[in-house]
Amino acid sequence: MRSALLLLFIIAVFDAGAQDWKRTQNWYFGNGAGLSFATDPPTVMTDGAMSTDEGCATISDTAGNLLLYTNGLTVWNKNHQIMDNGTGLLGRETSTQSSLVVPYPGNDSLFYIFTTDGAGLFQKGFQYNIVNIRENGGLGKVTSKNNLLVDMVCEKLTATHHSNGKDIWVLVHGFPNDSFYAYLVTEQGLINCPIISKIGSVHGIPNQLGEISRFDAQGAMKFNIKGNLLAVSVFGLNKIEVFGFDNSNGRISYKASAKGILLPYGLEFSPNSEFLYCTDKGFNLLQFHLAYWQSDSITNSRRSLANSSDEIFNQLQLASNGVIYVSKDPPPSNPFDTLGQINNPNLEYPYCDYIDSVARLQKNALLGLPNFITSYFKLETNEIRYSLTCPADSGIFFGYSPSPISSWSWELRDVQGILIGSASSQNTTFYFPDTGRYSVRLIANTDTLFKEVYIEPELNIGQDTLVCNQSELMLQVPQNFRCIQWYDGSDTKQHTVSEKGIFTVSAINYQGCRQTDSIHVDFKQVPQPIISQRSDTLFTDTGYSYRWYYNGIPTGGNDHFLHVFQNGTYTVEITDSNGCSNYSLTFPVVGIFVVRPEETQFRVYPIPSREGEVISVTGNHDIHSIHVHDMLGREIVGIEKLETREYQIRNIQRGLYILTVNQKHRYTLQIE
């Protein structure tokens, strides 16, 4: 029953996104301005109660009914009244993107309102607030207010859906630095543990006097509707930057830039993501063709759609009708604002068809237009959506379609193409045998869809371990984890322990799943053994097991003494009952069986030789006896009463040996 209820909940989450584009149906912005996209062309609305110079946000339900709007300071309900507890938010109406409303996935009652402070007023930073829209008979109430996330940020705030189709990424940029902060909102709520990407330009570079201009924080930041591209205005450096965004893990990568733009402000992608539109404070409305990247630059693809000496182009915003709207400062001759619009933003200039004055607002738009989750504007198509368990050993997959589907066919394969699972229903559960990348294929009627799913490694700081002859051990949290909490409150990826105990850590992975792992660590010290010599025998300390070395080569033997037959250096390794070992210093042995060159009357070859190889002994004199001893003095070969000039020794195992010919000529045998 629990699994069935979970599946029904997941399906409800996915179905809730079916009409998300209608959440953008009502726009309120500027000084009482408004538009309704329930009609085509949109209907001008004048009932708005909000006044804002720049940033604002509006949200409707999935049927297109207004729920609330805000300028980052005050929240108004659907009746244009100030919402219960809806004042005193710590955004700023002069912030480029002062606010953004994000619903809890799968919950039609709760909404986040994220806010950014205005340029030069960074004490209030990036905050979140929570609204329960069911309170007060559906008029809503701000139930949690002014929760700080990042203390200093730019005026940039945008959002897009996770690759799973249900969770939402919320993105801000720090100040003064090069840091992006990507927060994930799931059906459990906001995960207060951002993915931080340090990339691109520093926003807020000190001048020669060390002063940072507050204006460097201005300008917009936008995702494309697919959520895989990100555009950022770098206001103080007169350029825009384009990045790649991995909406499965929140990480950002650099793509290209366009320079020589005087104080870039508004940004918007075309629905097909081939073009980027930008306004600047040089009275320009610009188009850039993203396919013309040359040495990571799109500067040469710049086209001017409009230039005015008495109108300043400000914010850009895509609407559900596929048109990009442009807010403008009106010329003195026009008492009311009109919005510009790019009718065919998917086409290159001049076919994109910019019209300078369209809707007469009867109110002032000023600089801003409402901020939305950009993926709301994605055209409804067949789609794979999914939800992974935590930890991710299985996932529920849902086939979404805006039209009826009579046939569903699923396949799950690993990176080698091996089939892991299949199904023939609209939704199914797949189990993942291991971590790594998997390919999900869905055939909905004749439409074939693919989705790549990455199953992250679980949190693992190692097996229980015994540390020998060291005073500390470095524990390491895997790279795919963040927001780390060690047993002692520390939060670093690497953590050093120096005493016996059980050590625990918890952390959150890219999926947003918090996991915990622990390790038992013990420390043991084995004193360094000391070698002593009495006659032809070496002795060492008492241990559990021993291994002797001659000139760095193992000689065999497992005792605390060793009979030696050859000059050279000797070392011993002692292992205790816990498995910990230590090595002695090298011990020189001299004066043992020294053979003068003139006494060497026999040739022994090949030396060294391989295990199983025949060793030959030849000489100018008869061979009467052959004896071979290992390094412990044990006889391996003993032959007497020979009368021959050549003898072959066979079947000697790997190791060091002493060969004695005719009781007095000694040679070292090395068998590899």
What does 203-248 look like in DSSP terms, one character per residue? ES---TTS---GGGG-S-EEE-TTSSEEEEEEGGGTEEEEEEEETT
DSSP string over 430-488: EE-SSSEEEEEEEEETTEEEEEEEEEPPPP-----EEEES-S-EEEE--TTEEEEEETT
Provide CB contacts within 8 A for 211, sequence distance 6+.
none
Give residue 495's pLDDT.
96
Give residue 18's pLDDT.
52
Give residue 418's pLDDT.
96
Class of the domain covering 383-455: mainly beta
CATH number of the domain located at residue range(s) 597-671 in this protein: 2.60.40.10
Given this chain, do its domains 383-455 and 597-671 carry the same CATH topology? yes
Give residue 148's pLDDT.
97
Kind of pairing between the strands at 66-70 and 110-116: unpaired
The DSSP letter of residue 607 is S
Run means of pLDDT, 10 residues per run, the chain, 672 residues: 39 53 96 94 94 96 97 98 97 95 94 90 88 97 97 96 94 96 94 95 85 87 97 94 94 93 96 96 92 80 87 93 90 71 96 86 88 93 90 91 94 96 96 95 96 93 95 94 94 95 95 93 94 89 87 84 86 92 92 50 73 75 82 80 79 80 75 71
pTM over 0.85: no
Helix, strand, coil distribution of the chain in percent, nearest 5: 5, 50, 45
Residue 95 · residue 121 · CB < 8 Å: no
Give residue 221's pLDDT.
98
Q: What region, left, alpha or beta, does residue 155 occupy, with left being phi > 0 and alpha being psi -120 to 50 degrees?
A: alpha
Give residue 593's pLDDT.
53
Give residue 341's pLDDT.
94
Q: How many other C-beta atoms can be found within 10 angstroms of the C-beta atom of residue 393?
A: 14
- Taken in order 524, 527, 528, 534, is the CA torsion positive or negative? negative
CATH number of the domain located at residue range(s) 19-377 in this protein: 2.120.10.30
The three-state secondary structure class of 278 is strand
Give residue 121's pLDDT.
64
Give residue 598's pLDDT.
39
Provide CB contacts within 8 A for 66, sequence distance 6+.
26, 58, 60, 78
Residue 432 · residue 393 · CB < 8 Å: yes
Domain boundaries, the chain: 19-377, 383-455, 465-524, 532-589, 597-671
The span from the CA of 95 to the CA of 239, in Å, is 19
Q: Which tokens belong to 63?
A: 């049927």
Q: Compute the half-sphere exposure of residue 263: CA atoms within 13 Å on the CB side of its CA.
A: 13
Provide CB contacts within 8 A for 557, sequence distance 6+.
546, 547, 548, 630, 631, 632
The DSSP letter of residue 80 is S
Give residue 359's pLDDT.
67
The span from the CA of 96 to the CA of 114, in Å, is 13
The span from the CA of 129 to the CA of 86, in Å, is 10
